[in-house]
Amino acid sequence: MVVSQTLKRYARLLVYLKPYRRRLGIVLLLALIGTAVNLAYPYLSKILIDDALLGRRFQLLFTVGFVLFAAMVFSFVVNAASSLLYVSVSARVLLDMRLDLYRHLQRLSLKFYDNTRIGEILSRLNNDLAEAQRVTSDTLLALITNLLVLSGTIALLLLLNWKLFLVGIAFLPVGLKGLLHYRQRVHQQAKTIRERSAAIGSFLVESLLGIRLIKAFHAEDAEAERFRAQNEAFIRALLRFQWLSVIASGVPGLMMAMSTLAVLLYGGSLMIDGTMTLGSLVAFMAYQMRLMPPMQNLVALFMNFQRARASLDRVFAFFDLQPDVREHPHARELDWVRGEIEFDEVTMSYEPGRPVLKKVSFTVPAGTTCALVGPSGGGKSTIADLLLRFYDPSSGVIRVDGHDVREVTLESLRRHICLVDQETFLFSGTIEDNIRYGRPTATFDEIVAAAQAAAIHEFIEALPQGYRTVVGERGVKLSGGQRQRLAIARAVLRDPAILILDEATSALDWQAESSIKEAVARLMRGRTTLIISHRLSLIQDADLIIVLENGEVVQRGRHQQLLREPGAYRRLFIKQAGALEKDAFSPALSPTESLS
């Protein structure tokens, strides 16, 4: 059963070798030729001793010596060609596997990333995948080569003296039994090593992302101690694996040493009796010594297979994951979008029994602005995520221009929607590259026009390298306001029918927010806009304001209308406007509408 499952794992990997089967066929042919040449050396030594040296035939001595030299040169050329070709194939296989896994990870829903550490993903994408590739390519070639050497050596040993061969393999069953005994323990420990390695990767990602907090709390020593503990756990797992590997491979090695001793004693007695020539014994001993390396290599390969099994399990665990958000088999394209949004009795739960949205219904006409307000955790950002189909609702229907978003292609849906959120993400490229991300086919003039609309063109032009300026990882070289303007320029360039501003200015102070307010207004003009914000300065002019509390719509209307109504919106406005604004409202607040 275990063997069958292992073979199935490796059979999945063989798919990646199929496109390169011709090149691999050439490599295999070269390996076969090289093996045949290497196997000829001991037999040529038999001829050299028995016929040339003991027979005192100088011409034959010269001929055999020349053949040995030519065989060495030929073997070097063949092995070099085989190695170069194989490295090329191996690198391509790794690229294909890594690209396939990366694409698969991109198709997975956000729920996967919510529940999986970044370090764990990086560990599987880099370390585990490289191990799996090594098994697919390098180990496979080594397996074939060693099997060829082993089978050819056994055939020649039988040809030279079959009785002596039986003596030589008498102890092998004991070695194989010891190998099988430790197999499962080696595999389990290999899995532990992978887990410890992934934990180190996750720790590094987390600590590097939080370096400002670590420095602020002067926690460098504490974090270094945590990192040391992680590495100590890895070292303990590695040493235990090495110890098990030494035992598992040492037993067969010891048995082979005993076999060699038996061959030497029995073969020597045959030569003394005159039933075996000196050349035959020398050749047999040479082949006996050649029998040992491929068998030891096969044992080592077996250990590698066991170690790779853990990596394969971890890689295929990702490959076997299915996205929670799937495209309908007959999904239609949204070629053109007016921008009407409708939520119809939408309920959403990230965890069973804990709804974030409860039967939410509203309609946003095309070309209008709708603001979503309410306390944190009320479900505002969830509405944006559902509209983009980052998640699917537990029940209810979401429509764009009357089309159920689950029945249109993800590409066309997201092509017409643009999200500008609180945490502006910039890639570590140039300013031009980051703006062009909104529309990769855009010309430079269009990028400049987008920057002008976002009121950041003059700042960019003042930089020494202008639009070619590298912004640093996540845009660390820019201020929060500058990053936000670049995000707005990116959205302008995309020119979506529907715009989502999810706390787009919450990370900015009032002065910075005021400076980009005009750019935001230009971006919103002529398109359907969803504004999610705690700041009433951005939502007062909205055509529709929806107030959410505990996942339910508790109020809806325009700004002035909601201010006249006792309720959540009025309480929120008073908190932000201050005590002086409180006296301007009539009727007075009821006892249940306190600021607490």
What does the pLDDT look like over 256-280, one tens digit per residue?
777 777 777 887 888 788 787 777 7
Mean pLDDT of the chain: 79
> 50 near 279, Cβ under 8 Å?
yes
DSSP state of 551: T
Least confident window among 89-103, 117-131, 182-196, 385-399 = 182-196
Predicted confidence at residue 581, as pLDDT, reads 45
Distance CA 556, CA 576 (A): 19
- Residue-wise pLDDT tens digits, 85-141: 887 887 788 788 888 888 888 888 888 888 888 778 887 888 788 777 666 666 767
- Name which of 281-285, 484-488, 589-593 the model is least confident about: 589-593
Domain 18-319 has CATH 1.20.1560.10: yes
pLDDT band at 364 (very low <50, low <70, confident <90, very high): very high
The arithmetic mean of pLDDT across residues 518-536, rounded, is: 81
- Flag whether pLDDT at 400 surpasses 90: yes
**pLDDT at residue 396, as a whole number:** 93
The mean pLDDT of 453-469, rounded to a whole number, is 87
Instruction: Indicate the burial class of 213 (C-beta count within 10 angstroms; 0-12, 13-18, 19 or more).
Output: exposed
pLDDT of 589: 40
Q: For residue 307, what pLDDT is reported?
A: 65
Q: State the amino acid at position 176 in one-letter form.
A: L
Whether omega for the bond prior to residue 587 falls within 30 degrees of 0, making it cis, is yes
pLDDT at residue 184, as a whole number: 62
pLDDT of residue 370: 93
Torsion sign, CA atoms 57, 61, 62, 64: positive
pLDDT digits (tens, 9 = 90+) for 51-85: 777 777 778 877 877 888 888 888 888 888 887 88
Query: Of the ranges 333-337, 368-372, 542-546, which one carries the lowest mean pLDDT score?
Result: 333-337
By the 8 A CB rule, do 288 and 165 touch?
no
Confidence of residue 162 (pLDDT cuts 50, 70, 90): confident
**Which pLDDT value is given to residue 473?**
67
Average pLDDT rounded to a whole number, residues 388-410 = 92
pLDDT at 587 over 60: no
